[in-house]
């Protein structure tokens, strides 16, 4: 799930590029583990900064147009380039496994239940 350019531009300018982990919620649905990439994705030679969320869950249908709420909890590694698509895929799988391990820690699990994810439907927070 990629954030729009407008949302990406609203992220703090001093946030380090790289791979993060945390919690994500689509619409008013359940909260799931996620991995987040912030940066230029050097393997794909992007010219615009992007914020891409990989929700560790299989959805039954697309959720285009839904509100995606995230809480970033920790940092896994810096952004880097890869020699092959296979190396990129392998790193992504390692990032997912690290996120799962971290998010199972009690201090991170409790954030899954944070009121942030249970705002009234349609409530706008910080213009988002």
Task: List residues with catalytic annotation.
Answer: 52
Tokens of 109: 């699990």
- Residue 31 CB-density burial (10 A; 0-12 exposed, 13-18 middle, 19+ buried): buried
Q: In this structure, what are the phi and psi dihedrals at residue 126, rounded to the nearest 5 degrees? A: 55, 40
Phi-psi label, residue 20: left if phi above 0, alpha if psi -120 to 50, beta otherwise: beta
């Amino acid at each position: 799930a990629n954030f729009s350019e407008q949302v990406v531009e609203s992220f703090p300018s001093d946030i380090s590029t790289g791979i993060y982990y945390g919690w994500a919620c689509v619409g008013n649905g359940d909260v799931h583990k996620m991995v987040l990439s912030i940066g230029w994705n050097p393997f794909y030679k992007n010219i615009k900064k992007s914020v891409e969320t990989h929700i560790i869950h299989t959805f039954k249908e697309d959720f285009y147009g839904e509100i995606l709420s995230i809480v970033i909890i920790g940092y896994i590694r810096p952004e880097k380039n890869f020699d092959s698509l296979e190396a990129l895929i392998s790193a992504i799988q390692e990032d997912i496994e690290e996120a799962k391990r971290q998010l199972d820690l009690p201090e991170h699990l409790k954030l899954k239940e944070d009121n942030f994810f249970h705002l009234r439907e349609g409530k706008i927070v910080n213009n988002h």
